[in-house]
Amino acid sequence: MHKESAPSAAELEALLATARTFVREVLVPVESQLLHGAWAQNEPVLAQLREQARALGLWAPFLPASHGGRDLPLDAYARLSEVLGWTPFGHYVCNCQAPDVGNMELLLQFGTDDQKAQFLEPLTRGEIRSCFAMTEPEHAGSNPVMMSTRAVREGNEFVITGHKWFTSSADGASFAVVMAVTDPDEARKHFRASQILVPLPTPGYTLVRNIAVMGESGGGWASHAEVRFDGVRVPVTNVLGLQGHGFALAQERLGPGRIHHCMRWIGICERAFDLMCRRAVERELAPGDVLANKQQVQFWIADSRIEIHAARLMVMDAATRMAHHGQEAAREEIAYIKVFVANTLQRVLDRAIQAHGALGMTDDTPLAWWYRHERAARIYDGADEVHRTVIARRALKPYLPPRTPRE
Amino acid sequence: MHKESAPSAAELEALLATARTFVREVLVPVESQLLHGAWAQNEPVLAQLREQARALGLWAPFLPASHGGRDLPLDAYARLSEVLGWTPFGHYVCNCQAPDVGNMELLLQFGTDDQKAQFLEPLTRGEIRSCFAMTEPEHAGSNPVMMSTRAVREGNEFVITGHKWFTSSADGASFAVVMAVTDPDEARKHFRASQILVPLPTPGYTLVRNIAVMGESGGGWASHAEVRFDGVRVPVTNVLGLQGHGFALAQERLGPGRIHHCMRWIGICERAFDLMCRRAVERELAPGDVLANKQQVQFWIADSRIEIHAARLMVMDAATRMAHHGQEAAREEIAYIKVFVANTLQRVLDRAIQAHGALGMTDDTPLAWWYRHERAARIYDGADEVHRTVIARRALKPYLPPRTPRE
Amino acid sequence: MHKESAPSAAELEALLATARTFVREVLVPVESQLLHGAWAQNEPVLAQLREQARALGLWAPFLPASHGGRDLPLDAYARLSEVLGWTPFGHYVCNCQAPDVGNMELLLQFGTDDQKAQFLEPLTRGEIRSCFAMTEPEHAGSNPVMMSTRAVREGNEFVITGHKWFTSSADGASFAVVMAVTDPDEARKHFRASQILVPLPTPGYTLVRNIAVMGESGGGWASHAEVRFDGVRVPVTNVLGLQGHGFALAQERLGPGRIHHCMRWIGICERAFDLMCRRAVERELAPGDVLANKQQVQFWIADSRIEIHAARLMVMDAATRMAHHGQEAAREEIAYIKVFVANTLQRVLDRAIQAHGALGMTDDTPLAWWYRHERAARIYDGADEVHRTVIARRALKPYLPPRTPRE
Amino acid sequence: MHKESAPSAAELEALLATARTFVREVLVPVESQLLHGAWAQNEPVLAQLREQARALGLWAPFLPASHGGRDLPLDAYARLSEVLGWTPFGHYVCNCQAPDVGNMELLLQFGTDDQKAQFLEPLTRGEIRSCFAMTEPEHAGSNPVMMSTRAVREGNEFVITGHKWFTSSADGASFAVVMAVTDPDEARKHFRASQILVPLPTPGYTLVRNIAVMGESGGGWASHAEVRFDGVRVPVTNVLGLQGHGFALAQERLGPGRIHHCMRWIGICERAFDLMCRRAVERELAPGDVLANKQQVQFWIADSRIEIHAARLMVMDAATRMAHHGQEAAREEIAYIKVFVANTLQRVLDRAIQAHGALGMTDDTPLAWWYRHERAARIYDGADEVHRTVIARRALKPYLPPRTPRE
């Protein structure tokens, strides 16, 4: 997976420095306004920031140069992603936000020329947004083959019927990638579903609601929708990759996707750490006696530093492994970081809030926003429990020749 | 502190049964609507529910019968409070919600007849609401003597100037109890401030904002205000209790206040536990295989059960001790529960959310609401760190004759 | 289960005061010598101490007065047991040590007159010791019905063959209570085994070794033996209680046994707490600056105090419930304390050792001894995992009408 | 710090494979015998094993080839050290055990030719053993400048008087490196002490006792002595490095020393992990149902795997940094690993013991030995609290221009 046009080490450092300055001097000052504004008000502001990002060479950095990106390999992108994670809209502004980034990667790798022209190109240019409709409210995400959504072939069309939620950013999206069972009679249960490109809006499609998540239903990109497909028709050529390979593609997507999240979480951790340290030296408990003098606060800082350091080494190790040896070779390491970094994130945010006292509860810092929305980090893309089960099974395999443990 | 007209054991059990039925059959069904509705819409609904509570004998149960209550001693009230804590508006509906409950208790104990007539009576009847303005954004709550708000005597008036925040429920309140320094030159620094009754609104008073807390600025009773007093004038007779005794009164208030919160938190724990168990037996991971079969889920349930049991015994012990021997005798036990129950609450909510998966992140259950708003439990009324310091000092005292440890 | 001759509240307080003085002034000074001496050297010293305990009215306090005891109900005994737990030989000196206490209780309740005369009487007088042979190295203790030891009836005798370990105090014991399968064909698998009294030594019986446990094989009462029964013969009248009721008796034994352990563990916690506080005020980090000034040490002290308080309330609650309503009524509460107190114990000891630094690693305090030997608290009499499973099952039962979760 | 004669990558892999085979096939089979045997019995067995190690090219691998070693740079040695850590005598057998390894490193770097001839050469050949006398029972190790031992110059001699403990391996050592105050009037308090080479035994020197540590006083290399120097005389030429530079040398020693310990701990973690997995697949809870089927056991395995992975990445990062950029550049990373790996070690051992049930308490596996002796990992070479304070101070420095927090 060597990327010919990837930047040199010096170019990467320069890019990171550019990103760091952009984040701190441009994005952080508008962060609070964006976090608490409505999407309709935010969108034009963000569009302008996107132009600045593009001008600085920060646009879609994971994409090939031919698509306007910087061709960063995963380990280099990991470092940039941490920088962008410092502020909630960092990735969006650089057009490398979920779920679009995953859709772009899949289309790049598996899309037909027509699919690329119709769906990928406007996405890479930032003209449209997209979503990914996989999770169903009726079924546990830990068992992806339990899926009710069906795509039935009629002539040259698939007719899609199903109920999805946590279809993030569906509000305003121009297309969805929909997981649906196309081959219900296939013996191998992981080969029953396909990923299908569905232009939006379209007859039979309903956005039921932007789900209220931790008190906010949000809007536009910053939302999680419940949607229904009730006889939605698309041409059979809208299948992404091979029919029946929906889960294989989902795996392709989730591996880098988890690394992307982990990178971003480390950026959040570093920001929370920065806020905690600032608070520690500024907040007086008595005249001349600051919070930083308290051993408990010092130990929150020390433990956070240790854990963030461990998290970063693990993420860089997994990213490097995946960049050089492919996703399968990094599967176990990805499971490690999905659990470790999500839990580190939760602990660091919790400590930073406690160090802020009442201020930590308010929206006057971004801590409370992350505290509530990133609680999901331990749930999505495989809950802690799912990954720990995977890790244990792989660890036990050499000891357990014929059998495997029940879950 | 024996209460003559307190109900017998059998009467208490009957009252608890009444409350339990009322909460589950009347309040829970409207809970979601109330949690996510605007205050203006909620208020009439709540007014109607209050009438039902009154009719059922659940009104202001901690008040003397002469003020329309049930005269419950603290340990009996603890048990009722747990029942009401099962739903976020339980206490409000029974007119025993913070901060009004604390204001009523102080006025009952320390108010003059005039103060009672003007402030207490309409409060006990539920005709008005009140607030308590103590915390200042510029100063650490862990050091209450650091306070900038001043009340300067001019003739028969106090002129109050200061900046407060987390003045909960100020929005719509008919009066505030304001902590202000009245005696700045007093040598004993705990005798410099007074609690002063301030009718609202009044010239010089501004409600700056309902602070956005964990994404919600709320409104009415369900809000936390930032307020300013800029030359607000009140008669000197509006001092509550003795001038200079503001901190002594705050201590009087905080002791039972902490027990009230702990009782309520146990109610929340029990509700989260109930939701977790329901989810565990209902959610299928595969056909016929439910979440409750997973040992991790079983252990979340078991550990929650153990910790809630411990929490309840500790709260009942502290409440009984305070009911029989007064607040000073229960001071250490109150510090224990403030730390233990707040942390138990956070853990139980976290487990219940994890057991709900994506659903736990949504506002479709009350878990996410408590998760974000009750994060404050480890901060207000003395952060964990403050109470642990108090406990350690008392524990070390017998070992350390002349000196005391630095914090 | 009211005990007629139980002491009054005032008598109990006097007894506790006597015990406290005896423990601190007599037992603690010889504690180190006893902990690190060989059993043969310890035994005469202990015999003398036992005479003192008897003279002070501390002998076998749980026994009826008719057997030389004080007839303490379980909740009163709990309080005494905590006092005795302060030093490792406290219970032994008062003849209420495991495993003899369990054997005495079973013989009292289920023994025939002959069995009482032969086995119980000398035990209550402290003339002999006994052991309990249940655990087998080949089978998991969490599944007691997996048991290989067999007692086959031949005429008026049982012929016992089996392999046991963790037969605590077998070294020097005058009899064993042996769990053996007597009815292998019984359909109800919990009714296949019996408890059989086996005088020791006896032909066919071998004490294979005193197992080296955490570096010490110990000796006499302070040891855990691996033993073999190879055709050991006893009269059929040596069955304790009904044939086939071995597990029922084991349950009878384990309920109070777990409470006894928990009581003792709280005593250990209090001692560790005392040592930690002493160390905190004495150890200088710099001239005039002691360990107690460190916030981390203060928080170890505070958290330990909170947890010990919770533990004591829970144990007293379970003991009171069992004393008044019997073991079945307290079954769940016993599971709570078995988990909670064992884990509290481990944490408190760990903190006390850390506060002692290098000294904590040495045998110059009893902390290291408890640290290694009480690690077993989370394993014996039902590992944490077993009790948490029991608790979860009972909690889920009301939610899960027909099915039960798999473990 | 490039080492000319260091092995190539392929040579290193071959060396690791050799070591792995040697450890598993030769050392593990005699491990139990060595762990529980007396030193006098062990020594000849170990001498024979050392010959085998030497023949396999595993001798003193950190030493230059000129001293019989393999010239491994720190990061390569880290990997070997993990392999040797798998069994308690792995390092001893390869002559890279503490405290000799630290003494060899100091002598190599700072010794005069005479000192090297007298002390280093026989040590590198494994003919003698040595010890390091720094810690004093009267003073906290966290404040090394609090030191009572004095070396007073009289003519060409130093006369040493002092009291030390945890002088590991003093029993049978041929010399000690003694930290003593030589310049009490020096203004800079870190320049008051020197390291002095003291041949043993010598007049005035007493080995008071091998301290009983966690139940074992051990002997020979496997012991921790309390010693007294009462007017011990050595020539002034026995000062190691510059007079007054004792603390500087101690820092030189402790940096790599901490990495050595961390490497070894990871080896222990991997062994405990291996034992836990074996146990999980072998232990039946019911016929055909093994421990590995339990989700809790799976999660112990998964969490251990994640934490060991993090620990290894952190140690390799610190070792590589130190190998390439020197100790000062790695100071913070060394503090991270000292805390993280020591705590990981304790958790992994605790889980492995719990998974073994009663067997985990016995000396039938090495788990119990490590559980008790490696409890010290969180105490020696800087307790957790010391390193966390260092980390916090460095983290806060950029935020706190002029001041520093009190501890």
What is the ipTM, given to two decimal places? 0.96
Q: Number of helices (H) and strands (E) in chain D: give both, helices first.
A: 14, 10
The three-state (H, E, C) secondary structure of D88-133, written as one string: CCHHHHCCCCCCHHHHHHHHHHHCCHHHHHHHHHHHHCCCCCEEEE
Go through B244-259 and write b for each residue having 16 or more CB atoms within 10 A of its CB, e for each that does not.
bbbbbbbebbbbbbbb
CA distance C301 to chain B (A): 6
Chain A residue with Cα closest to D315:
A310
Selected for mutation to probe chain D from A307, A391, A394, A404 (highest D CB count within 10 Å) is A391
Chain B residue with Cα closest to C338:
B306
CA distance B243 to B258: 24
Nearest-CA neighbor of D266 among D90, D37, D131? D90
| SS3 category, A195 | strand
B399 touches chain C (CB under 8 A): yes
Cβ contacts of C281 on chain B, cutoff 8 Å: 396, 399-400
- Chain D neighbours (≥3 Cβ pairs under 8 A) are A, B, C
C294 touches chain A (CB under 8 A): yes
The beta-carbon neighbor of D336 closest among A292, A309, A406 is: A309
Q: What's the mean pLDDT in B368-387? A: 97
The beta-carbon neighbor of C314 closest among B295, B309, B392 is: B309
Amino acid present at C215: G
Which pLDDT score, from 0 to 100, does residue B405 have? 52
Task: Report the DSSP pairing between strands C157-168 and C289-290.
Answer: unpaired
D294 touches chain B (CB under 8 A): yes
Which residue bears the tokens 């005429």?
A: C155
The three-state (H, E, C) secondary structure of chain B, written as one string: CCCCCCCCHHHHHHHHHHHHHHHHHHHHHHHHHHHHCCHHHHHHHHHHHHHHHHHCCCCCCCCCHHHCCCCCCHHHHHHHHHHHHCCCCHHHHCCCCCCHHHHHHHHHHHCCHHHHHHHHHHHHCCCCCEEEECCCCCCCCCCCCCCCCEEEEECCEEEEEEEEEEEECCCCCCEEEEEEECCCCCCCHHHCEEEEEEECCCCCEEEEEECCECCECCECCECEEEEEEEEEEEEHHHEECCCCCHHHHHHHHHHHHHHHHHHHHHHHHHHHHHHHHHHHHHCEEECCEEHHHCHHHHHHHHHHHHHHHHHHHHHHHHHHHHHHHCCHHHHHHHHHHHHHHHHHHHHHHHHHHHHHCHHHHECCCCHHHHHHHHHHHHCCCCCHHHHHHHHHHHHHHHHCCCCCCCC
Using the beta-carbon criterion (under 8 Å), do C299 and A294 form an inter-chain contact? no
CA distances, B109 to each of A304, B120, B240, B249 (Å): 47, 11, 10, 10
Chain A residue with Cα closest to B145:
A286
Cβ contacts of A280 on chain C, cutoff 8 Å: none
Which residue bears the tokens 């928990």?
A: C262
Q: What's the mean pLDDT in D220-232? A: 98
Per-residue pLDDT band at D255 (split at 50, 70, 90): confident
> Rounded to the nearest 10 degrees, what angle do helices A28-36 and A39-55 cross at?
150
Which pLDDT score, from 0 to 100, does residue A289 have? 94
CA distance D196 to D132: 10
- Residue pLDDT, tens place only, C1-24: 445 667 899 999 999 999 999 999
A5 contacts: CB under 8 Å, gap ≥ 6: A64, A65, A71
Per-residue pLDDT band at C321 (split at 50, 70, 90): very high
CA distance A160 to C401: 38
Cβ contacts of C299 on chain A, cutoff 8 Å: 296
Share of chain D above pLDDT 90, in %: 92
Cβ contacts of D296 on chain B, cutoff 8 Å: 295-296, 299
Which pLDDT score, from 0 to 100, does residue A164 have? 98
CA distance D33 to D35: 6
- Chain B neighbours (≥3 Cβ pairs under 8 A) are A, C, D
Per-residue pLDDT band at D406 (split at 50, 70, 90): low
| pTM attached to this predicted model | 0.96
In chain D, what are the domains?
9-97 (1.10.540.10), 130-242 (2.40.110.10), 248-399 (1.20.140.10)
- Residue pLDDT, tens place only, C338-381: 999 999 999 999 999 999 999 999 999 999 999 999 999 999 99
C66 touches chain B (CB under 8 A): no
Using the beta-carbon criterion (under 8 Å), do C296 and A294 form an inter-chain contact? no
Flag whether pLDDT at C407 surpasses 60: no
Cβ–Cβ under 8 Å, residues C195 and C241: yes
A370 touches chain B (CB under 8 A): no
Which pLDDT score, from 0 to 100, does residue C256 have? 87
Q: What's the mean pLDDT in A105-130? A: 97
CA distance A301 to A294: 11
Q: Which of A305-319, C125-139, C392-406, D221-235 has the lowest mean pLDDT?
A: C392-406
- Residue pLDDT, tens place only, B182-211: 999 999 999 999 999 999 999 999 999 999
- Residue pLDDT, tens place only, B49-105: 999 999 999 999 999 999 999 999 999 999 999 999 999 999 999 999 999 999 999
D405 touches chain C (CB under 8 A): no
Which pLDDT score, from 0 to 100, does residue A209 have? 98
Flag whether pLDDT at C406 surpasses 80: no
Using the beta-carbon criterion (under 8 Å), do B310 and C339 form an inter-chain contact? no
Q: Which of B203-212, C133-142, D274-283 has the lowest mean pLDDT?
A: C133-142
Cβ contacts of C293 on chain B, cutoff 8 Å: 405-406
Using the beta-carbon criterion (under 8 Å), do A358 and B368 form an inter-chain contact? no
C285 touches chain B (CB under 8 A): no
Cβ–Cβ under 8 Å, residues D347 and D317: no
C303 touches chain B (CB under 8 A): yes
- Residue pLDDT, tens place only, D94-111: 999 999 999 999 999 999
Chain D residue with Cα closest to B297:
D295
Which pLDDT score, from 0 to 100, does residue B143 have? 84
- Residue pLDDT, tens place only, B103-153: 999 999 999 999 999 999 999 999 999 999 999 999 998 887 899 999 999
Structure tokens at A274: 């920065």
Amino acid present at B314: M
Q: How many CA atoms lie within 13 A of B141 on its CB side?
A: 25
Per-residue pLDDT band at A254 (split at 50, 70, 90): confident
CA distance C195 to C308: 36
A40 touches chain B (CB under 8 A): no
- Residue pLDDT, tens place only, D337-354: 999 999 999 999 999 999
Rounded to the nearest integer, the mean pLDDT of chain A is: 95
A376 touches chain B (CB under 8 A): yes
A33 touches chain C (CB under 8 A): no
- Residue pLDDT, tens place only, A370-404: 999 999 999 999 999 999 999 999 999 999 866 55
Share of chain B above pLDDT 70, in %: 97
- Residue pLDDT, tens place only, C216-275: 999 999 999 999 999 999 999 999 999 999 999 998 888 888 999 999 999 999 999 999
CB pairs under 8 A between A and C: 8
The beta-carbon neighbor of C336 closest among B299, B306, B400 is: B306
C366 touches chain D (CB under 8 A): no
Using the beta-carbon criterion (under 8 Å), do C395 and B278 form an inter-chain contact? no
Which pLDDT score, from 0 to 100, does residue C1 have? 43
Chain B residue with Cα closest to A223:
B362
Structure tokens at A24: 């701190």
Chain C residue with Cα closest to B303:
C388
Per-residue pLDDT band at A143 (split at 50, 70, 90): confident
